[in-house]
Amino acid sequence: MSEINTNQRFDTNEQQNKNYLPALTAMTTLFFLWGFITVLNDVLIPRLKGVFDLSYTEAMLVQFCFFGAYFIVSLPAGLLVKNFGYKKGVLTGLIVASIGCLLFYPAVVVHEYWLFLTALFVLAGGITVLQVSANPYVAALGPEKTASSRLNLAQALNSLGTTVGPYVGGLLFFGAAGTLTAGAAASAESVKIPYLMLAGALLTIAVVFAFLKLPEITAHKTQDDCKAKDQSLTKAPHLIMGVVAIFCYVGGEVAIGSFLVNFFGEAHIAGLEEHAASALIAYYWGGAMVGRFIGSALMQKVAPSKVLAFNGFAVIALLLVTIFTQGNVALYSVLAIGLFNSIMFPTIFSLAIEGLGSQTSKGSGWLCLAIVGGALIPLLQGVVADTVNIQDSFFVPALCYVFIAWYGLNVVKLSSKWQQQISK
């Protein structure tokens, strides 16, 4: 295959943008779906915690198994995408995720906690393949300079799924106004039907994608090959620090969301029952949705790195308010974090893979590998919550956002260092 100039490959004329629009539209449905599935964990955790009488640490094994799958599956997923293409990666992810959803049925029947964790691991494995496939694909569907904006737009649809998910999950898992029968409340029966419905949706979308014609993106295979292919990714500081930033971001975001239901149940915060607290989580993720639409437009004018740094410092401030106040002040401050979380993942992702050329899919695998932060940080916060208290445990994610703010302040410098290396 002949070399393709970057400017030629990312031609921004109106006709090419029209050609990319159907593919971009199709991909956004995936972002919505995996957002909906992932956020169900925030409602599933208190449900299983009550059913199996778990400690905070034990309950956080839900996130440990779900996001631990990213650590195990990300690199093989990167190889799959590199060798077989983005479309086959998407199809594989959809099928594996549907199998994970189907495994919830025997988990409910047998009523063993470890089976729920197994089902979550398989489900997350499929989501991982989708992430590794979809994120760089969306980034390539247009000019590189607007990749952050495009990813934020797609992630806004992801946030729509995370906004709807807690409300729907609260109704399905706890019943309207928490009115489950005594038998259902003592079992995980209410979990079965929602995941069977998701399995059906995933398989349906897989059939649609099998017949959908998506444009073949070759930019990540050819762009800067002559310069970047001989460079080790370990020498790309913006990628390496981006991996750490993704680890911190996903860990911090997931940890906060995982504890919201129980945090809102504390007497000195709001004293809410589980079904009411679950409904409030929608505002946390709804803020992320609004923020991504705002961020997508804002980053057409303002450097993504500057927006990332500002949002990082804003979250640190809000977490400190959450820790040191009570009542509505603490409640609203922790919910407001979603607005500033909004642009972080897609912005870090696009900044970290910038200029990687033929190694983009490998770099994408590294970044998705770092999503294991969603397994480890909530578990660490669970240990702190069991040892001290749930409110002070929010110091754990606060430390994560300190690094994110640092990355936003320094990523341009780190990326310039990489560009100097490959230009020699």
Length of the chain: 424
Residue pair 77/368 in contact (Cβ under 8 Å)? The answer is: yes
Closest CA to 303 of 148, 419, 418: 148
- Of residues 185 and 332, which shows the higher confidence score? 332
For residue 371, give the DSSP letter. G
How many other C-beta atoms are found inside a 10 Å radius of the C-beta of residue 203?
A: 17
**Do the domain assignments include residue 1?**
no
- Mean pLDDT of all residues in 360-382: 86
Is residue 202 situated within a structural domain?
yes
Averaged confidence pLDDT in the chain: 82
413: Cβ contacts below 8 Å, ≥ 6 apart: none
Reported as a pLDDT band with limits 50, 70 and 90, residue 391 is: very high
* Paired tokens of 77: 């997923």
Using pLDDT thresholds of 50, 70 and 90, give the confidence band for residue 218: low
CA 25 to chain centre: 19
Average pLDDT over residues 341-351: 89
Beta carbons of 346 and 246 less than 8 angstroms apart: no
Question: What pLDDT band is residue 178 in, cutting at 50, 70 and 90?
Answer: low
Q: Give the model confidence (pLDDT) of 101-110 as tens digits.
A: 999 999 888 8
Residue 239 pLDDT: 92
pLDDT of residue 328: 94
What's the predicted TM-score (pTM) here? Answer: 0.76
Which tokens hold the place of 369?
């590998």
Q: For residue 198, tell me if it sits in a domain.
A: yes
Q: Is the pLDDT of residue 139 over 90?
A: no
Supply the pLDDT for residue 1. 33
* pLDDT for the residue numbered 424: 63
Query: Stretch 339-359: mean pLDDT, rounded?
Result: 86
Residue 7 has pLDDT above 50, yes or no: no
Alpha-carbon distances, residue 251 vs 67, 365, 373, 385 (angstroms): 9, 17, 4, 16
Query: CA nearest 199: which of 280, 308, 119?
Result: 119
User: Averaged over 303-312, what is the pLDDT?
Assistant: 94
Strands (E), 102-181: none
Ranking 160-164, 244-248, 408-412 by mean pLDDT, the lowest is: 160-164
How many domains are contained in the chain?
1
Average pLDDT over residues 324-342: 94
pLDDT tops 80 at residue 308: yes
Residue 333: pLDDT band (50, 70, 90) is very high
Mean pLDDT of the 319-334 span? 96
Give which of 225, 210, 172, 233 is closest to 363, Cα–Cα. 233
* Highest mean pLDDT: which range of 39-53, 132-146, 263-277: 263-277
Alpha-carbon distance 181 to 384, whole Å? Answer: 33
Residues 279-291: what's their mean pLDDT?
84
pLDDT band of residue 224 (cuts 50, 70, 90) is very low
pLDDT at 17: 46
Dihedral of alpha carbons 179, 175, 118, 154, sign: negative
With bands split at pLDDT 50, 70 and 90, how would you rate the model's confidence at 395? very high
The pLDDT score that the predictor gives to residue 188 is 65
Mean pLDDT, range 178-199, rounded to an integer: 68
CATH number at residue 64: 1.20.1250.20
Q: Which of 157-161, 273-277, 304-308 has the highest mean pLDDT?
A: 304-308
In a domain? residue 82: yes
For 13-40, letters b (16+ CB in 10 Å) and e give eeebeeebeebbebbbebbbbbbbbbbb
Q: DSSP assignment of 6-72, as one string? A: HHHHT---HHHHHHHHHHHHHHHHHHHHHHHHHHHHHHHHHHHHHHHT--HHHHTHHHHHHHHHHHH
Residue-level pLDDT at 115: 92
Domain span holding position 415: 6-423
User: Among candidates 379, 402, 385, which has minimal Cα distance to 68?
Assistant: 379
Distance CA 178, CA 338 (A): 25
Q: Does the residue 225 lie in any domain?
A: yes
Examine residue 56 and state whether it is found in any structural domain, yes or no.
yes
The contacts of residue 197 (CB under 8 Å, 6+ apart) are: none
pLDDT of the residue at 216: 66
Mean pLDDT of all residues in 32-43: 85
pLDDT surpassing 90 at residue 331? yes
Judged on CB neighbours under 10 Å (0-12, 13-18, 19+), 112 is: middle
| Within a domain: 288 | yes
Which pLDDT tens digit goes with each residue over 41-100? 888 888 888 888 889 899 999 989 988 988 898 878 878 887 888 888 889 999 999 999
81-85, 230-234, 345-349: which range is least confident on average? 230-234
Q: Which pLDDT belongs to residue 10?
A: 39
CB 174 within 8 A of CB 275: yes
Tally: H helices and E strands in the chain:
20, 0
Whether the pLDDT of residue 200 is over 60: the answer is yes
DSSP code string of 187-220: SSHHHHHHHHHHHHHHHHHHHHHHH---PPP-HH
Q: pLDDT: is 406 or 143 the higher one?
A: 406
pLDDT interval class at 175 (50, 70, 90): low
